[in-house]
Amino acid sequence: EVQLVESGGDLVHPGGSLRLSCAASGFTFRSYWMHWVRQAPGKGLVWISRISSDGSSTTYADSVKGRFTISRDNAKNTLYLHMNSLRTEDTAVYYCARDLGTDWYFFDYWGQGTLVPVSS
Amino acid sequence: QTVVTQEPSLSVSPGGTVTLTCGLSSGSVSTDYYPSWYQQTPGQAPRTLTHSTNTRFSGVPDRFSGSILGNKAALTITGAQADDESDYYCVLYMRSGVWVFGGGTRLTVL
């Protein structure tokens, strides 16, 4: 069974940093692209970042470019999101999601999300 | 900046048919955008419904179908049921290597 479990969400002050993790199991993690998608309270889904299966290629939404870094450790079956210079508008539930990659371009399995409140 | 448009809200009667659409602020949606659709109920993670325009994801009932209608991607629900009452999101893949979600459609079954 495919499982994605996010962790690391915590209250952080504006300007602070945080690292989220997404532990994967039930599939060959190193064969899949992975994404982070977030959802502010009461708002819609927003894609924020993608990493290729080997970690060599990453893309970001403009709203987080230069502040957030996506990475992965295929030996540990874990995806990360390093978030710096956090703003109140980054407050959201952060989901990781799996993608089959080239010529698929969709999110087939999702984690349950981890909440990141950014507040003073 | 690319904006993906969806109806903010729609309603459907039980047993009825409803079509949700997914458009672009500039231009037409085609299969090249690999449109996919997701269902979300409050407090839950999204659930994948369709991908690659019209491919139903594993385990999704055949009353959910994806298509291109005119210049938009579409999700049609036939024989709507009470538990279809949810938020629905489309997402488009951009050749620049980013994905853009629509704002979501809140579907009411009444």
The reported pLDDT for the residue numbered B28 is: 96
* Reported confidence tier of residue B4, pLDDT bands at 50, 70, 90: very high
Banded pLDDT at A80 (limits 50, 70, 90) = very high
Give chain B positions within 8 Å (CB) of A111. Answer: 45
Measured CA distances, B66 to A66, A71, A101, A118, B46 (Å): 35, 33, 20, 37, 17
Q: Which chain B residues are Cβ-neighbours of A59 within 8 angstroms? A: 96-98
**Interface test with chain A among B30, B98, B100, by most A beta carbons within 10 Å:** B98
Query: Residue A63: which residues within 8 A CB-CB, separation 6 or more?
Result: A46, A48
pLDDT at A103 over 90: no
Return the sign of the alpha-carbon dihedral for residues A85, A88, A90, A91: positive
Interface of A with B in 40-59 (CB under 8 A): 44-47, 50, 59
Place of tokens 């109140």: A88
Hey, are the CB atoms on B34 and A111 less than 8 Å from each other? no
